[in-house]
A and B are shown apart, each in its own frame.
Chain A
């Protein structure tokens, strides 16, 4: 295969992912659901969304969008050249850094905890590409850590557009072992899992952790990540 053919195949496989599912239209629907769940319907009219778009950091948003569209969600065609978990986690981390001065210190630490949680289960294997193929205890702990980190990110209110897309990307990466389950085989199931996760995390962050500072979910995310890492190392 020549480099040009490889590039062409990649581009053809990328376009539906980028503009339909999991990026593009599906991403927009999921983002609206996330913003509504986090801040209520009234504050999320379409004018508010347009205003957010005009104020958005395009580079951070585009990087998060690209990461989301490359996720191995159910119902997507496999990419001709796969992207391993570390590459996607790095892309989402990069998106967070592009947010630059607008990024709060707590959000930076929460993002680091989520990145550690995503990477932790793969320390039990021997390849970056095969991480998450089967569901192990470390994967479950990692998923809980990601959920705690995501709750920390929305404790103080709805995220920005780039933060929201990144949130969806982190959720998709953290839930990678779930996507391999035989029952969850298409985009509808993936959407249901996302809807449930958004609702559950929104409820936890608004009811359980409403009166606490984000330090508690961040601490939970870091602790669970460390336990997940330890479990993966011991299970090898």
Chain B
């Protein structure tokens, strides 16, 4: 392996995993997009006998997350740094995580979802072990697989039924203990506050090398709630409990970021998970919130894929990109929460995401890692800090950046092309996304049933305003520089 200018080893070829995951994303689109685009769904496999339930379900929700996770895994594979040891094995393990996540995405039977999740967890653990000596603490397998035990118990006692809409109308509601168990599993697996310790410690132990895979794993956790909504809603008490949990998690995560030492992935995972939890909680009463939660999860996956491996000058834009990608989702959830009279959740979403973005910025993180430097082994590279003397250009994956920018500046595409079919797929628990209307030239608005505008996000129009201001400022800046040079007079010889 050839040393680079700054003394670290060049990254080994992780392109095998990246290409395999890209191929998986493309394959899903080729096979399933024609079905989903017609508003249909498909249960697989089609057994010859009527005694067996189908194991998999292809619909808007599963296709969206299947493609997003495969794409994110491809990007994460390219971001894995300093993986000089056992790179062939690491390629296989990165693919194992993807396979596990795809099982989760397309699961119709709860047992398939459970197995997929455990497979992804196994892949993550082994990957972290391969990445670095001591990169995975001894307790990590326990932490990764223990939440699954409660899920398995629920499945075995028959409390979790297949993730498919009931035939001929609304199904029965999820029982409150099951909803609470779902929330607990999500919180444990996403590693957010107050269960954020494992994510933070693992990231530190891996010296920042495993960040992309950890982020992908953490951001997949809230998908369990989306899957549950495919089958049935939760009742009013379930909505209240889940919203309260999401609000507490969101506030706790950002408060931790301000008051204590943490890593940016913990903050981001906590903020994204808290916001998504609020959105999914309100989904049975407000389809807008369901759409917002899905938007938040997708932007979270893309953000982590884009920035998890970036530690240099490019990290400057990590914070604004977090907020930019999250704004459409926050806007949808906030309006959904207001329509259900959950004002507190609506009010704290934007400030909390702003604080999370600030805490995810390079200056904030470097401050904390300076404090914790003594805890890291000597061989640890400075992976998350922004030192002027060590600036190397490691560009973030451009695909993720383009998708995040597109979702921020032209959210109409995301709403009409992605979020509407996804909400439609959650037919058992969420009604159709009727309130949002897209003005393709300016932005999105939410209308009440009697035609009154409730919310308006002119994202494309705002983008135009910023562009015009930017062009004007560019020329003004040049003019100012010229005027200053003229006043300074000729340079002394």
Residues of A within 8 A of B (CB): 2-8, 10-11, 14-15, 18-19, 23, 47, 50-51, 53-54, 56, 58-59, 61-63, 65-66, 69-70, 79-84, 86-87, 89-91, 93-94, 96-98, 100-101, 103, 105, 108-109, 111-113, 115-116, 119-120, 122-130, 229, 232-233, 236
20 other A-B residue contacts (CB within 8 Å) besides A108-B355, A119-B347: A14-B465, A50-B480, A62-B466, A63-B466, A87-B456, A87-B458, A91-B462, A101-B316, A101-B362, A105-B364, A116-B351, A124-B343, A125-B343, A126-B338, A126-B341, A126-B454, A128-B446, A129-B455, A233-B344, A236-B343
Contact indicator A122/B346 (Cβ below 8 Å) = yes
Q: How far is the CB of A117 from chain B (nearest CB, A)?
A: 9
Residue in B350, B458, B469, B473 whose Cβ sees the most chain A Cβ within 10 Å: B469
Instruction: Name the one of B335, B458, B483, B487 contacting A81, with C-beta atoms under 8 angstroms.
Output: B458
Q: Mark B454-493, 1 if CB is under 8 A from A, else 0.
A: 1111111110111111101110110011011001000000
Q: List B contacts of A2 (CB < 8 A).
A: 441
Instruction: Name the one of A79, A86, A97 contacting B358, with C-beta atoms under 8 angstroms.
Output: A97
Contact indicator A129/B454 (Cβ below 8 Å) = yes
Tell whether B361 is near chain A: CB-to-CB under 8 Å. yes
In the complex, 19 of the A-B residue pairs with CB atoms within 8 angstroms, ordered by the A residue number, are A58-B473, A58-B474, A62-B466, A66-B462, A66-B469, A81-B445, A84-B456, A87-B456, A87-B458, A91-B462, A100-B319, A103-B358, A109-B355, A119-B351, A120-B347, A123-B344, A126-B341, A127-B455, A232-B343
Q: List B contacts of A119 (CB < 8 A).
A: 346-347, 350-351
Tell whether B354 is near chain A: CB-to-CB under 8 Å. yes
Tell whether B440 is near chain A: CB-to-CB under 8 Å. yes
Q: List A contacts of B323 (CB < 8 A).
A: 90, 93-94, 97
Instruction: Name the one of B331, B452, B464, B468 contacting A87, with C-beta atoms under 8 angstroms.
Output: B331
Tell whether B324 is near chain A: CB-to-CB under 8 Å. yes
Contact indicator B338/A125 (Cβ below 8 Å) = yes
Residue in B320, B362, B454 whose Cβ sees the most chain A Cβ within 10 Å: B320
Contact indicator B443/A116 (Cβ below 8 Å) = no
Q: List A contacts of B351 (CB < 8 A).
A: 112-113, 115-116, 119
How far, in angstroms, from A18 to B469 measured CA to CA in the complex?
8
Instruction: Name the one of A11, A47, A98, A100 contacting B464, with C-beta atoms under 8 angstroms.
Output: A11
Number of interface residues of B (CB under 8 A): 68
With contacts A81-B439, A126-B339 taken as known, whether A58 is within 8 angstroms of B481 at the C-beta atoms is no
Q: List B contacts of A69 (CB < 8 A).
A: 465, 469
Contact indicator A128/B347 (Cβ below 8 Å) = no
Instruction: Name the one of B346, B358, B456 contacting A123, with C-beta atoms under 8 angstroms.
Output: B346
Enumerate the 5 nearest inter-chain pairs by beta-carbon distance, A residue then B residue, closest first: A123-B343, A7-B441, A3-B440, A3-B441, A6-B441
Q: List A contacts of B441 (CB < 8 A).
A: 2-8, 10
Q: How far is the CB of B179 from chain A (nearest CB, A)?
A: 24
With contacts A100-B316, A101-B316, A129-B456 taken as known, whether A94 is within 8 angstroms of B324 at the C-beta atoms is yes
Contact indicator B354/A112 (Cβ below 8 Å) = yes
Q: How far is the CB of B319 from chain A (nearest CB, A)?
A: 5
Q: List A contacts of B461 (CB < 8 A).
A: 7, 10, 14, 81, 83
Instruction: Name the one of B319, B469, B487 contacting A65, with C-beta atoms under 8 angstroms.
Output: B469
How far, in angstroms, from A122 to B354 measured CA to CA in the complex?
18
Q: Mark B312-343, 1 if CB is under 8 A from A, else 0.
A: 00001101100110010011001100110101
Tell whether B357 is near chain A: CB-to-CB under 8 Å. yes
Contact indicator A101/B363 (Cβ below 8 Å) = yes
Q: List B contacts of A58 (CB < 8 A).
A: 470, 473-474, 477
How far, in angstroms, from A42 to B476 measured CA to CA in the complex?
23
Contact indicator B462/A84 (Cβ below 8 Å) = no
Q: How far is the CB of A188 from chain B (nearest CB, A)?
A: 24
Q: How far is the CB of A175 from chain B (nearest CB, A)?
A: 19
How far, in angstroms, from A119 to B466 measured CA to CA in the complex?
22
Tell whether B35 is near chain A: CB-to-CB under 8 Å. no
Q: List A contacts of B445 (CB < 8 A).
A: 81
Q: List A contacts of B472 (CB < 8 A).
A: 19
Contact indicator A127/B335 (Cβ below 8 Å) = yes
Residue in A62, A80, A91 whose Cβ sees the most chain B Cβ within 10 Å: A62
Contact indicator B361/A100 (Cβ below 8 Å) = yes
How far, in angstroms, from A128 to B358 measured CA to CA in the complex?
24
Q: How far is the CB of A234 from chain B (nearest CB, A)?
A: 10
Q: List A contacts of B401 (CB < 8 A).
A: none
Tell whether B44 is near chain A: CB-to-CB under 8 Å. no
Residue in A3, A23, A90, A229 whose Cβ sees the most chain B Cβ within 10 Å: A90
Contact indicator B338/A128 (Cβ below 8 Å) = yes
Q: Mark B345-370, 1 if CB is under 8 A from A, else 0.
A: 01110110011011001111001000
Name B217-265 residues within 8 Å CB distance of A.
258
Contact indicator B334/A128 (Cβ below 8 Å) = yes
Q: List B contacts of A15 (CB < 8 A).
A: 468
How far, in angstroms, from A87 to B335 measured CA to CA in the complex?
12
Tell whether B386 is near chain A: CB-to-CB under 8 Å. yes
Q: List B contacts of A81 (CB < 8 A).
A: 439, 442-443, 445, 456, 458, 461
Contact indicator B363/A66 (Cβ below 8 Å) = no
Contact indicator A56/B363 (Cβ below 8 Å) = no
